[in-house]
Structure formats: C-alpha cells, structure tokens
Amino acid sequence: MELANETKTAKIAKTLEKLILEGKLPRGSFLPSQQELANQFQTSSRPIREALKLLEAKGLIQINQGRKAQVCSNNLDQFVGSLSASLLTQYTFNRKMMKNLMQVCTSVITSAAREFSRCENRKMVTAELRDCVARMEKHSDNPLQTLSEERKYFFTLVKANNNQILLAIYENMMPLVINAIKQVSFTPAEIEKQTKNCIYLLEALENGQTDLAVALTLVTISTIQNKVLAKFPDEAEALA
C-alpha cells in the first residue's frame, strides 16, 4: 500500500513500533534491511532512514553503520523513565511544572476512557473497577486510603487499553503527582464526591456512553488538580 507523502515517515515508524511493542519483532532480532523496508512500504530510502531514527530516539532499536537495525527494547519504560529523570534534573517543582505533569496524566486517563469501548476485556476490567469503588466506599473515613484506591481505579482504566506508550508515560509521571497529592487535605464531602464520580464514570463505561465517561473523567481529575495546584505558588518552589 502506498503511504501518503506527508505522513510516510510517521506511518512507517508507527507500524514498526507496533510490531516491536507487540513482540512480533523481539528484543535482539534484526529489522529487514533499509532496501527491504523500502520495498515493503513502497517508498524511497529517505522515509525509512527517518523512521528508523525516530525508533532509535525512543530507545527501541539500535542502528549500527553497515548492519541492519537491531531491536534493543520491547517497551518504552526506559525511554519515558529517562524523560522523567530529565524533567526532574532540569526543572524545579513549581505551579507550572506540576500543572503540566497533571495535564499529561489527565490526557492519558481521558484517552483511556475514550477508547474503553474497544477494550477486549471490558467485563473483567469493569469488575476490577467495581472492586476499587467498593474499597473506596469501605475506607470513606480514611482519605489517603480512598485516594489510593482511586489511583488504582484510574491505573486499571489506563492499563486496560493495552497501549504501552500511554501506560509507560502514566507509570513514570503519575508517581510525581502522587507525591504532591499526599500533601493535600481533602474533606469528607470531597472524598464522598470523588467516590460518586468514580461510580458514575464506571456506569458510563459499562453503558458505552463515551462522551459522558470522558466528561466525568475530566471533572474527577480536575478536582484533584485544583486542590494540588493550590499548594504551589506561582514562583518556583521545590517540592518538599
């Protein structure tokens, strides 16, 4: 199939990345030669070279001159982890930094809610989400425990989509946000509202109400974001 010129490199990179993440190109194996890939994708060698550079930048392959590209990783954890470390070493925790981190996590969660209808194991996942909600209700008098169950709830939702890229981003970024959340005090009424929002979200997911699920996700996460950002002044201040 001929690929559109303006997206040729991106589509080639995406196709190869999918094969790597799904294990169809296992770690240690070699990709076809650039000429073979060019023939396969019906394109010239330039988009192939550019696509391979993108994969190398993500830590998925290693390119050695005169040899075929070799798969060196089947996940993006190392790449995203190094990105997280880079953020921490280059920036102090201030309001802008925390807002950006929370927006990344929010984007990942809302994407998971939007794609949930395509999840192959919806019944099993919704059962896990119900268990999280049940524990949230059980520990309603313990804000930290309730928020911990809420984090498991959203992690389950993100993991269900089987998108290794989004999961790697979430797993590496979310712990930074959790450290900030632990410093925030929530009232019993706020905890109760969070639990109800998770229940409503679960019902929307079960009923295939995608737009409602996304809206409820945004409402639930925004409540936490507003509480956390209130702890951070506008000027740079290290996270204690």
Domain with 59 in it: what CATH number? 1.10.10.10
Task: Give me the domain span that covers residue 193.
Answer: 77-229
> Helical H runs in the chain?
8-21, 34-40, 45-57, 77-90, 95-115, 122-138, 143-160, 164-181, 188-206, 210-229
Same domain, 170 and 84: yes
Question: Which of 25, 56, 71 is the endpoint of a domain?
Answer: 71
Euclidean distance between CA atoms 25 and 37, whole angstroms: 14
Same domain, 101 and 208: yes
- Give how many domains the chain has, as a whole number: 2
Same domain, 101 and 163: yes
Confidence of residue 75 (pLDDT cuts 50, 70, 90): low
Whether residue 240 is contained in a domain is answered as: no
Lowest mean pLDDT among 101-105, 125-129, 184-188: 101-105
**Mean pLDDT value of segment 206-217:** 92
Same domain, 143 and 88: yes
Same domain, 81 and 66: no
Whether residue 239 is contained in a domain is answered as: no
Whether residue 234 is contained in a domain is answered as: no
Confidence of residue 55 (pLDDT cuts 50, 70, 90): confident
**Amino acid sitting at position 187:** T
Does position 179 have pLDDT exceeding 70, yes or no? yes
Same domain, 87 and 120: yes
**Mean pLDDT value of segment 152-159:** 94
Same domain, 62 and 114: no
Same domain, 170 and 108: yes
Mean pLDDT of the chain: 82
Question: What digits encode the pLDDT tens for the residues 15-49?
Answer: 998 888 777 888 889 999 999 999 999 999 999 99
Whether residue 143 is contained in a domain is answered as: yes
Euclidean distance between CA atoms 146 and 193, whole angstroms: 11
Same domain, 26 and 143: no
Whether residue 157 is contained in a domain is answered as: yes
pTM of the model: 0.61
Lowest mean pLDDT among 66-80, 109-123, 155-169: 66-80
Confidence of residue 193 (pLDDT cuts 50, 70, 90): very high
Who has greater pLDDT, 158 or 118? 158
Euclidean distance between CA atoms 14 and 22, whole angstroms: 12
Does position 160 have pLDDT exceeding 80, yes or no? yes
Confidence of residue 238 (pLDDT cuts 50, 70, 90): very low
Does position 172 have pLDDT exceeding 90, yes or no? no
**Mean pLDDT value of segment 185-198:** 92
Same domain, 37 and 82: no
Same domain, 98 and 47: no
Question: Which of 71, 90, 109 is the endpoint of a domain?
Answer: 71
Token pair of 104 as six digits: 């990344």
